Amino acid sequence: MTTQPPTVVMSRTSSTDVSDYPFQKPHFLSVHDLNEATARSLINRASDYANAIRDNVPIEPTLVGKHVVNLFFENSTRTLASFDMATQRLGGRVTNLPMETSSVKKGESLVDTLKTIDAMRPDVIVIRHGSAGAADIAAKTVDAHVINAGDGAREHPTQALLDAVTVTRTFGDVSGLTITICGDIKHSRVARSNIALLSMLGADVRLCAPPTLLPDDIRDQGLGVFTNLADALPGSDVIMALRVQTERMDHSVIPSTREYHQQYGLTLDRLAVLAPKAKIMHPGPMNRGVEIDGNVADHPTKSLILDQVENGVAARMAVLHALISQDGHQT
Ligand code: CP
């Protein structure tokens, strides 16, 4: 008789605790679907998963018999691969839909595509779309759970969650840290989700960008807003660089990528003012030599960029587990 290895049972508390059912709704569309307690419960679970993956410890397969469809209308490397791996690590099945070869190219509407996929009875649809609000439309259209994997310039909630997991695993907590988000904030769904989640978790969030890459209403939000990197960096524990999103901007907002790098690029020289323990993050994909230099992105002690990628699988496992396990336990 063979002995089965023990599986890690990840529940930290009783079965009716917020830790087990952090979502009030059957979907995860926005970081505003969370509160501080539910965000922390997801971060804790994700961190447990990350430890288990690192240590090669078997994980309780809570998605056995469940099917996840990744419906990506925009390109992705990190998010798509990590939802795929997260599903498989939890024992679920996954279908990745290459929308560039789908019937969308023949003029099928988003709603018709969603109804078609939902008729195949998946348990979860993970959607990335170029239009703000697409994930909300999906949630209103389908019976499956919906996870927003990025909708236009609006939200990317699982990216913010994995970033919070990464900061928590590095510093012990998000609360009390000064986190400076630097770059194309106006066009960034990552910035929008991170501003809300990191602030909810007690960080002092600063923003730094050229005036043309700041949202019009940003000064009403009570955040530190800087247009000069030299003013924003001192005292920062984390610098989160954002990609210059040339596909979402016209050419009037920055004179050139070379000039952008001269004024806002993260270089080792510029980062010398930071405390030795300060860290660099970037959601990817990166424009090396534009918003970040290669020797900063690859820095062996300062860069958390590959930790973010690693924690992305664990964070998405926590979200998938939470949505599936609340079936039948809706509040
Ligand atoms: N950070 C992020 O969303 O990366 P991908 O576009 O590769 O998924």
Task: Average the pLDDT over each of 158-167, 173-182, 197-206, 236-245 and give the range with the smallest value.
Answer: 236-245
More confident residue, 247 or 201: 201
Q: What is the whole-number distance in angstroms between the Cα of residue 14 and the centre of ligand 1? A: 35
Long-range contacts of 40-44 (CB under 8 A, 24+ apart): 40/201, 41/17, 42/161, 42/315, 42/318, 42/319, 42/322, 43/161, 43/164, 43/165, 43/168, 43/318, 44/12, 44/19
Atom of ligand 1 nearest to the CA of 77: 7
pLDDT at 291 over 60: yes
CA dihedral 293, 298, 304, 310 (to 10 degrees): 120
At 16 the pLDDT is: 45
Specify the residue with its C-alpha closest to ligand 1, atom 4.
78
Decide whether any atom of ligand 1 lies within 6 Å of the 309 Cβ: no
**Phi/psi at 190 (nearest 5 deg)?**
-65, -45
For residue range 113-123, list pLDDT tens digits in order.
999 999 999 99
State the average pLDDT for the chain. Answer: 91
Picking from 203, 146, 149, the residue whose alpha carbon sits closest to that of residue 177 is 203
Would you list the DSSP string of 260-310?
HHHHH-B-HHHHTTS-TT-EEE--S---BTTTB-HHHHT-TTTB-HHHHHH
Decide whether any atom of ligand 1 lies within 6 Å of the 288 Cβ: no
Picking from 248, 130, 234, the residue whose alpha carbon sits closest to that of residue 184 is 248
HSE of 180, CA atoms in CB hemisphere, 13 A: 27
Q: What is the value of pTM for the model shown? A: 0.93
At 68 the pLDDT is: 98
At 216 the pLDDT is: 86
Specify the residue with its C-alpha closest to ligand 1, atom 1.
283
Tell me the C-alpha to C-alpha distance, in Å, between residue 154 and each of 8, 16, 56, 209, 315. 36, 32, 36, 18, 20
Task: Average the pLDDT over each of 104-108, 112-116, 146-150, 207-211 and give the range with the smallest value.
Answer: 104-108
Tell me the C-alpha to C-alpha distance, in Å, between residue 26 and each of 22, 74, 101, 152, 221. 10, 24, 29, 22, 29
At 248 the pLDDT is: 59
- Read off the pLDDT of each residue in 225-244 and give the average, rounded to a whole number: 96
E-assigned strand segments in the chain: 67-72, 93-98, 124-129, 145-151, 178-182, 204-208, 224-226, 238-241, 279-281
At 13 the pLDDT is: 41
CB distance 330 to 26 below 8 Å: yes
Decide whether any atom of ligand 1 lies within 6 Å of the 283 Cβ: yes
- Read off the pLDDT of each residue in 164-178 and give the average, rounded to a whole number: 98
Percent of the chain with pLDDT over 70: 91
From CA 217, how far away is CA 210, in angstroms rounded?
Answer: 15
- Read off the pLDDT of each residue in 99-118 and give the average, rounded to a whole number: 87
E-assigned strand segments in 99-140: 124-129
In which band, very low, low, confident or very high, does the pLDDT at 249 lie, cut at 50, 70 and 90? low
For residue range 7-40, list pLDDT tens digits in order.
554 544 434 456 667 787 899 999 999 999 999 9
